[in-house]
């Protein structure tokens, strides 16, 4: 059953999934504000509003409970444990397939909509060229707190990498990538 936060307009399951991703990104940025020790007085009003409104942080749900699964009986006089594991694993795979097929039926019939997968975020990579996720959210928090791009410490990352990663985090959160503040200079 779908449950929606108050005062949020959602047009379907795909929009609800996008909203959930937005909420998680916002919570990551708020966590970065807190871990960096940035005082709330330096948080933008829209971040404070989100942080203090529990309804804004309520995620959407659309739960479907599969029917119970009963593995096949194990007859230790006629089959080995390995044979039973193969048989029960195959039965479980079939059970999962039937359930997911039934769920997809509603999309096929046009009752529900296809939910696009979340855009993957690249990890740090073998050569550690990409910033870790928590660092990307910290950069976004620093930007929102009024730091100019060139003021955000980047360690081994270039200013362009910092700006690109933090901007992506802010877009995912649905928050502005540019802040009009006397402290910010381009």
> Would you kindly state where each structural domain of the chain is located, as residue ranges?
2-63+127-173
Residues 59-74 pLDDT 10s: 988 888 999 999 999 9
pLDDT of residue 28: 96
What is the distance between the alpha carbons of residues 123 and 129, in angstroms, rounded to a whole number?
A: 9
Residues 76-110 pLDDT 10s: 999 999 999 999 999 999 999 999 998 888 888 88
- Indicate whether this model's pTM tops 0.85: no
Residue 174 region, left (φ>0) first, then alpha (ψ -120 to 50), else beta?
A: left
2 pLDDT band, cuts 50/70/90, is very low
Q: Tell me how far CA of residue 112 lies from CA of 39, 104, 132, 155, 181, in angstroms.
A: 44, 9, 35, 46, 43
């Amino acid at each position: 059953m779908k449950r929606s936060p108050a005062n949020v307009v959602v047009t379907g399951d795909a929009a609800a999934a996008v909203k959930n991703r937005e909420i998680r990104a916002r919570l990551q940025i708020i966590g970065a504000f807190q871990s960096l020790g940035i005082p709330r007085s330096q948080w933008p009003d829209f971040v404070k509003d989100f942080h203090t409104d529990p309804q804004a942080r309520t995620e959407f749900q659309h739960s479907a409970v599969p029917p119970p699964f009963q593995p096949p009986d194990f007859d230790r006089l006629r089959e080995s444990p390995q044979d039973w594991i193969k048989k029960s694993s195959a039965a479980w795979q079939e059970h999962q397939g039937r359930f997911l097929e039934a769920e997809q039926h509603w999309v096929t019939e046009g009752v529900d909509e296809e939910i696009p997968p979340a855009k993957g975020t690249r990890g740090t990579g073998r050569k550690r060229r990409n910033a870790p996720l928590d660092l990307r959210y910290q950069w976004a928090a620093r930007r929102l707190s009024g730091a100019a791009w060139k003021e955000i410490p980047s360690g081994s990352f270039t200013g362009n990498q910092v700006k690109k990663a933090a901007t992506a985090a802010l877009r995912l959160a649905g928050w502005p990538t540019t802040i009009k503040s006397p402290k910010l200079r381009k």
